[in-house]
Structure 1
Amino acid sequence: MATRRTMGLGVGSVLAMAAAAAACAPMARAERPAPAAAPEVKLFTRYSDTSRIGQPYAKDPSVIRFAGRYFMYYSIPPAKDNRQGGDGFPTGWAIGIAESRDLKSWRKVGEVLPVQQVEKNGIAAPGAIVIRGKVHLFYQTYGNGRRDAINHGWSTDGINFERDPGNPVFRPDPVEATWSAGRAIDAEPFVHGDKLLLYYATRDPEMKVQKIGVASAPLDSAYGKSDWTNLSKHGPALEPELAWERNCVEGASIIRRDGKLYMFYAGGYNNEPQQIGVAVSSDGVTWKRLSDKPLLTDGPPGSWNDSESGHPAAFQDGKRTLLFFQGNPDRGKTWTLAATELGWGKRGPYLKSVK
């Protein structure tokens, strides 16, 4: 996410800037091609947050099951009234928390606010995971351009988080990984064997093309700054190659199925439109696309996700697989989170409603 701070702005300015803000905001907007004949997607659930700007605005979902209920973490925009947040910082971008007992009805139960100096411009794009009875939250700093990085916190109740005093814990070294600008956003943690993998999005040295990399830390470590090894030193795990991906792949979400790892990822900058593709891997480092077409497209004209279907979060709940994602009909003036159910065939996942 890369916009200016909104401290001291009126509601009109906040809304305008929030509409322009995105986890993967383009450096220059490309012309959108004529919309394809996309089918209406059958939704399992739908949720948004009106608490900060008085209209629906929630992005970048991450869903877990913890302590007998489901938690969804997501990005929320600056508050329109410029109220004070954690440690006296203005309430810029932050992380909302909603809970559910059935994955269908959601209730907001809290916020994760900036409290460290490195977080003062805002935090966003959470990635949550449960390890040894604690919720570990990896999330990006906001508004620092190529210096944005991944922070880490943990919680015993899913709502109140302690922070690593050494935050940020990870950003790629641009001297070591010369293909990267050194930025890290869109954290996605995933347990693989005795390692915790951390997927991240970064840009090329010119800050124009968004790509996905991966780092690892020992699973029994504290996931601090010294624990991470960048597995993408010599090149990205995934980079834009297909026409619909334009100059951006981001928002990796990983699940394991039948011994293989599947990455759901967003292609295209926000509202170009951003759409969702799938890649497969055996080691979590080398990935191959399942198709040259997106699994989930933007919706048909006039639909709630006409402008995009983006930033996926795949969630395995027993035998059921849900794909959470963000969408909007108004080029980012509002944002809503939703989920659709996936089925699985010989070729991988498919949308149950449009098989």
Structure 2
Amino acid sequence: MTFSIFSATRQHTTLLLIGCLSAGACQQATAPTTTTTKAPAATIANPILPGDFPDPSVVQVGDTYWATATTSNWGPVFPLLKSKDLAKWELVGHVFPDGRPDWADYYFWAPEISQEGGKTYVFYTAHQRGGNLAVGVASADTPAGPYHDHGPLVGQPDGSIDAFPMRDENNQLYLIWKEDGNSVRKPTPIWAQRLNDDRTALLGEKQELFRNDAAWEAGLVEGVSMVRHEGYFYAFYAGNGCCGNGCTYATGVARSRNLLGPWEKYSKNPIMVNNDTWKCPGHGTVVQRNGRWFLLHHAYDSQGFQNVGRQGVLSEFTWNAEGWPEFQGRSTTVGAAPAVAAHNLTDEFNRATLLPTWQWPVQNKPAFRVQGGQLHLMASPDGSGAVLGQPTHTATYTATTTLLNPAALPTGTTAGLTAHGDPDNALALTAGGGQVQLWQRIKGQQKVLAEVPLPAAKALQLRMQVEKGSQYRFSWSTNAGKTWQAPPTNATVDGAYLPPWDRGVRVGVVAQGPASATGTFENFTLVNQ
């Protein structure tokens, strides 16, 4: 079965259910919602979260929807986005804006945002320092934060990931999560265990709900999102391989009269699979609006694929006569595509701080300052250098930046424009040491592809042109972009090696060299095509 692209309508009432975190919410979920009257309205087009937003989660607080998503090894950790209509989203902050929780070092995955009792909770996955993957929790008095971290709740020897809070039929609070057995070639049980009301500790014994035992699920089930409807608990979940060009992800559903089971998987699973536009759909959160049901999940655009990353997609479903969810449209139905210009970015560095869309490697946060219309990026000798990057939204785009006074950079220092997968895999055009260099870094080994003498100019504009997500061409200009010069080879560089298995490429600025040196940038633009 194919999955639908969301073409929504505005109505006069708003209804939302994320999980079943209170008795009132459970009662609301049992109300009939399968028949609605649709009024004309503007189309909501996918992706609603363009760019790299895996494992998206959403909750409604008052008249506002709040969403977050995986950041993996990019900081700041876990974006906070808000919307009034599920269509237009604004990035307003991060759960951990300045650093990482003390107990964790990398792999910040699958944040699940929920609201109850006037507080907001974010359950999330991270790698424990000196340990394995674990589930932690942070809380705040408002969805915008600031958030206080409460540390890890569960970290099994094989890893614990993808947490979801849920109240049972007796209003007892439970934590649902996946044991990451597939990481060691074992099954992947979905567990439930009592959770105290402060969400700071598990109580009693864990109990298995179900595991990967169907052929289509292959090595795993994960990413459970629950909702209660018409007397059943429904668990939407993902199965098979999540990520990369060879992904096999799809979405299934199971149900039970009681939270602890027995659970029955739908005989027609998977209920959401590939279509012509979106590949490997899965790991999302159920959401209602105006009496209609949706799953906000991630999927790869077939054009940009892993170079852009897993984007946030909203797919509608209804309940069939047997009480199972069915996603709309057995053939691909596409709403109007978002205008790529809406995602163009220009940063003149004329604010007191960086735009919130800038990111950095979570284990290598660079030192920088924004002052007088300039970004001053302190260099780093580690990995591919100090990096600030922007997520991409399309497979074809152009990025440019202006580097000031490249001839004044200290010996052993270069700065410029980069496409960055991770600290060990990058591609860049930089200036310094009397040279303009095109270089690539693959698995930690850096190699110069081309170099020419540095032109005599106080400002050097650097340009990156990308096609098909992974084909890179670089050039530079000494006259504000009136004419451009390419490296001697003038060749397209294949950057297919750049994206790690679980995230997309970032493009931005880099400064490589001793920490006492600084690269100074006057602007940065990213134009989608």
Would you say same fold, with TM above 0.5?
A: yes
Alignment partner of 1:59 is 2:54:
yes
**Structure 1 residues 240-279: aligned runs within 5 Å:** 240-271=212-243, 272-279=247-254
Query: Partners of 1:247 and 1:48 in 2: how far apart?
Result: 30
In the other structure, the counterpart of 2:273 is 297
- Alignment pair present for 1:102 and 2:91: no
Taking structure 1 as reference, are residues 190 and 145 closer, same or farther at Cα in structure 2, changes over 3 Å only?
Answer: farther
> Shift of residue 122 of structure 1?
4.6
Aligned to 2:65: 70
**2:105 and 2:155 mapped to 1: Cα distance?**
18
Q: Tell whether the 8 Å contact from 1:71 to 1:100 is kept in structure 2 after alignment.
A: yes
Shift of 1:312: 2.4
Secondary structure of the 2:216 match is helix
Corresponding residue of 1:211: 189
Could you list the runs of 5+ residues in structure 2 that have no partner in the other structure?
Answer: 8-43, 332-529
Shift, 1:153, TM fit: 1.1
Counterparts of 1:170 and 1:325, CA distance in 2: 25
Q: Summarize the Cα distance change of 1:126–1:96 in structure 2 as closer, same or farther, 3 Å threshold.
A: same
Distance, in Å, in 1 between the alignment partners of 2:327 and 2:176 is 24
**Cα deviation per residue 1:26-60 (whole Å; 9 max; x = unaligned)?**
xxxxxxxxxxxx5462224534767xxxxx21111
- Picking from 292, 295, 314, the partner of 1:339 is 314
* More displaced stretch, 200-209 vs 255-264: 200-209
Q: Deviations over 1:176-226 (max 9, x none)?
A: xxxxx3x211111122233222111113397224332112224xx21213x
Q: Residue deviations 1:304-337, cap 9 Å, x none?
A: x23x111121113462211111100255332211
Rounded to whole Å, the distance in 2 between the matches of 1:338 and 1:285 is 30
Match of 1:169 among 141, 147, 153: 153
Computing the radius of gyration from Cα coordinates, the structure with the larger value is 2
Q: Distance in 1 between matches of 2:68 and 2:164?
A: 12
Count of paired positions? 282
Report the equivalent of 2:177. Answer: 200
Q: How far 1:284 moved relative to its partner?
A: 1.3
* 2:157 aligned with 1:184: no
Counterparts in 2 of 1:11-30, with a 5 A limit?
Answer: none
Instruction: Select between 243-252 and 101-110 the one with higher mean Cα deviation.
Output: 101-110
> Which residue is equivalent to 1:17?
none
Q: 2:6 aligns with which of 17, 28, 43?
A: 43
Taking a change above 3 Å as real, the CA distance of residues 164 and 112 of structure 1, as seen in their structure-2 partners, is: closer
- Stretch deviating more after TM superposition (111-120 or 58-67): 111-120
User: Hey, what does 1:87 align to over in structure 2?
Assistant: none
Q: Kindly indicate which of the two structures has a greater share of residues assigned to strand.
A: 2
* Distance apart, 1:151 and its partner CA: 0.9
> Which digits, 9 at most, give the CA deviation of each residue in 1:164-183, with x for residues without a partner?
44x112234x6xxxxxx3x2
Report the 3-state secondary structure (helix = DSSP H, G, I; strand = E; otherwise coil) of the residue aligned with 2:223: strand
Gaps (5+ residues) in structure 1? 1-37, 51-55, 80-90, 175-180
1:296 and 1:260 map into 2 onto residues whose CA distance is 20
Residue-by-residue CA offset, 1:117-172 (whole Å, 9 max, x unaligned): 1123252211121110111111111376972111111122202143344x112234
More deviation, 156-165/271-280: 156-165
- Give RMSD over aligned pairs: 2.5
Look up the equivalent residue of 1:187 and give its one-letter code.
A
Equivalent residue letter for 1:266: A
Greater CA drift, 121-130 or 40-49: 40-49
- TM superposition shift of 1:229: 3.3
Code of the aligned partner of 1:282? R
TM-score normalized with structure 1 length? 0.72
Q: 1: CA distance between counterparts of 2:285 and 2:182?
A: 27
Letter matched to residue 62 of structure 2: A
Q: 1:256 to 1:49 in 2, by over 3 A?
A: closer
Identity of aligned residues (%): 21
Offset of residue 341 of structure 1: 1.3
* Distance in 2 between residues matched to 1:352 and 1:144, nearest whole Å: 43
Contact in 2 for aligned 1:321/1:341 (Cα 8 Å)? yes
Q: 1:335 to 1:143 in 2, by over 3 A?
A: farther
Q: What secondary structure is seen at the aligned counterpart in 2 of 1:244? A: helix
Alignment check: 8 A CA contact 1:276 1:312 kept: no
The one-letter code matched in structure 1 to 2:218 is R
- How far residue 248 of structure 1 moved from its aligned partner, in angstroms, is 0.7
CA distance in 2, matches of 1:341, 1:40: 8
Secondary structure, in 3 states, of the residue corresponding to 2:85? coil
Match of 2:255 among 258, 280, 303: 280
Code of the residue aligned with 1:171 in structure 2: it is: G
C-alpha distance 124-70 of structure 1, shift in aligned 2 (>3 A): same
Partner residue in 2 for 1:112: 95
How far, CA to CA, are the matches of 1:162 and 1:351 in structure 2?
A: 35
